[in-house]
A and B are shown apart, each in its own frame.
Chain A
C-alpha cells in the first residue's frame, strides 16, 4: 500500500491540476453553506471540510436521476434505429465520503446482477475514487454501526485522512498509484509520525458519534418479523410518502422507466422512483399489495435490514449516512425506527 502526504497548499495545487486534466467530482458549498457533490473546475470549489454530509449521496453520478438509456427513431418507413449512449468519460471522484463510497459499491452490485446494466456499472468502473475518511462525524451519522465507515481498509483507489496541516493519502489500487505518480510533484512519502497521527485519529473517531443506532437489534427484529403492527401503524400515519428517504439514500435503487419524446426522437428514460409511493407497487388490476404507508415503510426497512439483505448483498442495506434522518419531514427515518423498535421491544420484555 502506497502512503503519501499532501500538505494542504500542495493539495490545492494538485486539485487545480487535476481539474485541468480530468473531469472531477468533489464536495462543494452551496449558498446556504450546505455541502453538495458536483462537477468542479477548480480547487476554489472543492470544499473537503464542508459541514455535514452533502445533501444528496454520490449515487446520482452513477445511477442518474433521469437518464436516457437509449433513443429510438424511425428509419425510412419501416425501420427503427436504436442509439445507445456512448461509453462514459473517465472521472475522478475526489473527497467522496466512506458511507457514500460504500453506497456506490452497493448500487453497482445491484445493477451488476442478474444481468449487467452498463449504464451504471461502466460509470463506476470508469471513475477513480479518492475518498475522504471522516474524523468528525456529523450530527446524524451512524456509519460505524453499519459497516459504512468512517474509515476503510480497502475499497476506494485512495483514502484521504485529514491530519490538520496535511492529508495522508493511503492508496489501495494500481489505478490509484498510477494517478499519484502522475502528480508526484504535489506529495511526498508519508513519515511514520503521519501514520501515527492517522492511526490516532482513526481510533478516536468511534467515540465521537452522537447517534447510536441499534442496528443489530433492528436486523434481528426485522428478520424474525417481530415488529408489533402498532409501530407500522404509528409510523405509517406520519409518513407522508414524499420519497425523500429514497432519493437521499446512498443505497436505494428504485427506478421507473418511461418513454418520452425528446425532440425528433423517442427516448427510453430511467428516472428515480420510491417504494414509498403508492403507485410504485400498485398492479395493473388496481390491486395494491402495500396500500397503506405503514405497509410500504415495513417493506422499506425489511429490504434494508433483514438477513435476506445480508445474504444477497453481503452487507445490510444501510451505510449509516444519516441523510434520511435529516430529510424525513415526519421523523420516521431509519434511525428513529430502530430506536423506537428497541424501546418498544424492551418495554414489552419487561411487561
Chain B
C-alpha cells in the first residue's frame, strides 16, 4: 500500500490515503508506528487531501503567442522554453538566466533544477524563497557547526530538561515539535521562549523574553556574558572541542546587560536566570524557527551556537540545536544546492574541489550567483532576462513582483512550473502544469534531516507531469540527456554524489517507513561524536544601532506570524474548506495602550503603513503583547497584489 508524506511543514508526517470508488483522494490517515506522525496529524495534515482535486489545478501546458497565452502541448511548450533559455543565455551570458526552486518540491526535483542551472546553462543564479527565512539559519548552522542540522531529533527533544525556543511559534510552524515540547513539559522540563509576539508557546513558557525585534542577539550575548563572568561554562568541552574562546570573551568584555535592559525594558535578572538554567540542565535544546529572522540580522544564530558550545550542550545526544520551521523540504532544497553559493551537500562554491565538481558532473568551476531577492531586483536593470520558476509565486518581494507583473512579457522571459494558477502564471511565457506530490513519487528531507520516500497515492489530474520529469525533458530539449526514466533513479544518483545522503538509496528508503537519517560526512556515526570534531567559537557581532522611535512616522515595529490553518502563501490552504474558513482577513494585534495611543479599536478595519508598502487588516487587542510591537497574523494572501510589508518592519497604523 503506497504511503506519502504531508506536504506542509517540515515535520514530515507519513500518511496513507483514503481513495473513493471514483478514484478521488478523500482523506489521509496518519501512520501510527512512525517516529514523526505517531498516529496523529495536525489540522492541516488531516485536511490536506482536498486541494489535489480542486478545479483550479493547472491541467495543460500553455505558451504566450503574440502577447496572448494559449493552450499548448508538452512538446511545443518545452521546446519553446528550452530554445528561449538557451538563446538568452547564449546572447547575454549565463548570468542573465535565473532559476528559482522550491522547498515544497522533492529532492529529485530540486536536484535536477540544480543540474539544469549549473550543469546545462552554467549559471550560479539559483535560489529559493527560503532565502528569506530558513536558509540563513541553515547557512549559519552549517558554518558554525559544520552541519546544517544539528544533533537533536524529535525523540531527543521529548527528553529535554530545558528548551530554549527562539523566534518560533511552534504550534503553528511545527506541531510535531510542539507535541514533543509538551511531552518534555509533562515530564517536568522548563521552557524559555524568546519572541516579541505572544503565542500559544509563550503561554506554556516558564520564562518569556519578549525581546524587541532585532535585539535577539543582545539577550543571547547577555546570557553568554553572564555565564562567562560566573564561570558557569563547560570548561572541559571548551578546551577539548572548541577554539577561539578568548576572542569571544574579548568581544563580550564590555557588554553591559543592564544598559540593554534600560533601553529595551527586559529584566536582566530574567536573562541571567534563564542562562543559568540552560547551563545547569542535563539535556538542553535550542529550537530555532523561521521567525528568528524576524530579527533582521545574521547574528542571532551564531550567538545561539556560541551559547550551546560554551555550555557543552553540543556535540552529544539530546542537546544542541534543532531547526523548527520551513516547508516540507526546506532542508532537502538546501541539501540539493538550490542556492547561489553552495553546491549539493552544502559545499561552498568558492571552495569546491575538483573531486566535488566531477562527482556532480559539472564542467569547470561553478559560479556564485544571485540570490532570490537579487534575481528579482535585477529584472528591471536588465541583468536578468529569463527566469525559470518552479513551485513559487514570488510573493515575498511585493515591490519587485509588482514591477515584474507590470512589465509582463516585455520584461523577462518567464517559465513557470506550478500546480495552481497565479498572477505569475497569467503573464508567463510558458506555463508547465505540475503534479502535486500526491500524484507521484520522490523523497523529502524533514527538519531532523530524515529523508523519507513517498509514492503516488492518486491518479494524476489533467495532463500534468512530475517536476523532475519536466526538467528532464527541458534538458533533453537543450541537447543534454540526464537519462532518468524513473524518479528513484535520481534518488540513487543523489545518494552517490552527496556524502550526507550516502545511505539514502531508493532501496534503503523503500525498506523503512521511518526513512533514513543523514550524516554530515556519510558515515554511520554522528560526526560530533568523532574524537576529531572541533569547531570555532565566532564572535557573533551585534545588530546595528537600534533605536525605538515612538515619536517618528513609523513608531511601531511589526512582526508577522502564521496561523495553524494557513500555510505558506495560502495557494493550497485556501483551497481546503476546513482550513480556509478559519480566518477571513489579516489580523493585526496591538497592545491596548498602543491601540489607544493610535486611536484604533478592537475589530476596526485598519491600514498598516510601512515606508514603501501598505496593507489592510482588522485590529485585534492583545493584552499580553508588549508595547511598541505589532503582530500581524497572516491568514491568506487574498489579493496577490496586496503589498504585505515583509517583517520585521517599522509601521504606523491608521483607521480606515
Contacts and interface: CB of A to CB of B under 8 A. Distances in A.
A237 B191 CA distance: 14
A272 interface: yes
Interface string A53-73: 001100010001111000000
Contacts of B200: 237, 240
A244 interface: yes
B31 interface: yes
Interface string B22-55: 0010110111111000111111011101100001
22 contacts: A31-B1, A33-B33, A34-B31, A52-B32, A60-B18, A66-B20, A66-B26, A237-B200, A240-B179, A242-B42, A242-B46, A256-B578, A260-B55, A261-B55, A277-B582, A279-B582, A326-B32, A326-B38, A326-B40, A327-B39, A329-B178, A331-B182
Nearest to B585: A286
B577 interface: yes
A243 interface: yes
B599 interface: no
Interface in B40-91: 40-43, 45-47, 49-50, 55
B40 A30 contact: no
A247 interface: yes
A258 interface: yes
B387 to A, nearest CB: 32
A30 B16 contact: yes
A271 B50 CA distance: 10
A329 B18 CA distance: 22
Contacts of B186: 331
B31 A32 contact: yes
B3 interface: yes
Contact of A242 (B41, B204, B603): B41
A306 interface: no
Nearest to A66: B26
Contact of B564 (A30, A55, A240, A286): A240
A288 to B, nearest CB: 11
A36 interface: yes
B27 A258 contact: no
Interface string B493-513: 000000000000000000001
B38 A247 contact: no
B298 interface: no
Interface string B532-569: 00000000000000000000000000000000110000
Contacts, number: 119
Given A55-B29, A278-B582, A329 B577 contact: no
Given A241-B43, A330-B182, A32 B29 contact: no
A168 to B, nearest CB: 29
Q: By CB atoms of chain B within 10 A, which of A56, A327, A330 has the most?
A: A330
A60 B182 contact: no
Contacts of A206: none
Nearest to B186: A331
Interface of A: 30-34, 36, 52, 55-56, 60, 64-67, 237-238, 240-244, 247-248, 256, 258, 260-261, 271-274, 277-279, 282, 286, 326-331
B597 interface: no
A36 B40 contact: no
Contact of B182 (A30, A56, A329): A329
A273 B47 CA distance: 9
B42 to A, nearest CB: 5
Contact of B33 (A32, A66, A278, A286): A32
Nearest to B584: A286
A308 B50 CA distance: 35
Contacts of B33: 32-34
A65 B15 CA distance: 15
Contacts of A261: 55
B210 to A, nearest CB: 18
Given A55-B39, A273-B578, A242 B31 contact: no
Given A240-B564, A258-B577, A261-B55, A56 B29 contact: yes
Contacts of B18: 60, 65-66
Contacts of A240: 42-43, 171, 175, 178-179, 200, 564
A32 B1 contact: no
Contacts of B27: 60, 65-66, 272
B359 interface: no
Nearest to B24: A66
A273 B581 CA distance: 12
Given A244-B40, A279-B565, 9 more contacts: A32-B33, A66-B26, A240-B200, A244-B41, A274-B43, A327-B39, A329-B38, A329-B175, A331-B186
A92 B104 CA distance: 41
B26 to A, nearest CB: 4
A240 B176 CA distance: 10
B183 interface: yes
Given A66-B20, A331-B183, A243 B31 contact: no
Contacts of B171: 240
A34 B39 CA distance: 10
A286 B27 CA distance: 29
B406 interface: no
A258 B49 CA distance: 15
Given A242-B40, A326-B39, A271 B578 contact: yes
Contacts of B582: 277-279
Contacts of A66: 18, 20, 24, 26-27, 49-50
A261 B204 CA distance: 43
A277 B46 CA distance: 12
Contacts of B423: none
B581 A64 contact: no
A66 B603 CA distance: 35
A179 B30 CA distance: 35
Given A237-B203, A242-B42, A329-B40, A36 B29 contact: yes
A31 B3 contact: yes
A329 B179 CA distance: 5
B40 A328 contact: yes
B515 to A, nearest CB: 12
A237 B26 CA distance: 31
A92 to B, nearest CB: 17
Contacts of A274: 43
B446 to A, nearest CB: 16
B447 to A, nearest CB: 16
B24 A242 contact: no
Contact of A55 (B1, B32, B46, B182): B32
Nearest to A247: B46
Interface in B570-589: 577-578, 581-582
**Nearest 7 Cβ contacts at the A-B interface:** A65-B27, A329-B179, A66-B26, A244-B40, A34-B32, A32-B33, A261-B55
A225 B427 CA distance: 60
B566 to A, nearest CB: 12
A29 to B, nearest CB: 9
Contacts of B176: 329
A295 to B, nearest CB: 15
Nearest to B33: A32
A281 to B, nearest CB: 11
Contact of B32 (A32, A64, A282): A32
Contacts of B16: 30, 36
A60 B46 CA distance: 14
A64 B20 CA distance: 9
